[in-house]
A = this chain, B = another copy of it.
């Protein structure tokens, strides 16, 4: 059996399983065909030829009717134009979809978010199976049910919560993943370690080389550990009223840097800088030891992620400007009535929400990144 581990995401009435393993596409085909007589697979122009074509073969071999909707790859296409295009193509199929039609996402975070939003809103909700193909999508977007697209006013401002029926993660497909994409996923793994599992930080550092070599078994272990962390957090708090907010560690700074840079720097790189900033503030408050903050920073650096602004030479000046970053933070959709909430580690493996981070602390954290 190529399945390493199956993790249950325990949401009342909408529980589902995440299967993690290697060389899982044939198994994915059987599972999809067992679920529906007809599947529409949504993918992008990068993943289509690399992975989705093999998935389609597997689904057809397992006996289900299959159609493919492919859109142009790239974050820039995660918008209402693409949503509408995919929706119109789905609803306009010569044999129109009905409520028994299964939607399958095969791709990275953009595909999962966009196809998930189409599934959430076509015929007021179609069943949805996610087959993510990037490490970031595997450990982050694949669990939690967040779907959506970007708006002119900001990222992920339009969307819905729509839980998949099943997630099937094949670590072997990561062999073609570019280095920067791998790093994006690893940044979220470090975040999970900081908020819930200090031992995971050691595991990541010890296996950094195996991850860089795309060794499927090591990646499957990493993915399974991270999916389990995210599943536990989401199951405890589906709608982000409480502890799910901890998953935003590093993201208040990270999103602000990403937006100030006009989305020219990858999400994971921005989160990495955000994790360093949050750990810096936590160390400054005595919540964690300075040595713990250093340990996180060194782990990120070992994974080739930026830990100072200089590590990302393409970053424009606005993205290093405290005033600009604070302005963006105040308008973050997670801000309430303008109060910016920060997640800070209270130990390695634990975190809490803070509403009282001062301007001076933010300035010091930005200055440290610039140091």
Given the known A-B contacts A98-B333, A100-B337, A334-B99, are A121 and B124 also in contact in the complex, defined by CB atoms under 8 Å?
A: no
Given the known A-B contacts A37-B337, A96-B153, A158-B122, are A84 and B88 also in contact in the complex, defined by CB atoms under 8 Å?
A: no
Query: Contact size class for A?
Result: 35 or more
Contact with B along A90-104 (1 / 0, CB 8 A): 011000101110000
Would B88 and A125 count as touching, CB distance under 8 A? Answer: no
Contact with B along A35-59 (1 / 0, CB 8 A): 0010000000000000000000000
Contact with B along A147-159 (1 / 0, CB 8 A): 0100111101111
Chain A binding site: helix, strand, loop or mixed by DSSP?
Answer: mixed
Tell me whether A146 is interfacial, beta carbon within 8 Å. yes
- Minimal beta-carbon separation of A284 from chain B (angstroms): 28
Would A336 and B99 count as touching, CB distance under 8 A? Answer: yes
**A88 proximity list for chain B (CB < 8 A):** 151-153
* Complex Cα spacing A123 to B153, Å: 11
**A99 proximity list for chain B (CB < 8 A):** 333-334, 336
Given the known A-B contacts A80-B84, A91-B153, A153-B88, are A335 and B122 also in contact in the complex, defined by CB atoms under 8 Å?
A: no
Contacts of A148-202 to chain B: CB distance below 8 A = 148, 151-154, 156-161
Could you give 9 example pairs across A and B, Cβ below 8 Å? A87-B151, A92-B153, A98-B335, A98-B337, A117-B121, A120-B160, A121-B121, A121-B158, A124-B160
Q: Identify the A interface with B (CB < 8 A).
A: 37, 80, 84, 87-88, 91-92, 96, 98-100, 117, 120-125, 146, 148, 151-154, 156-161, 331, 333-337
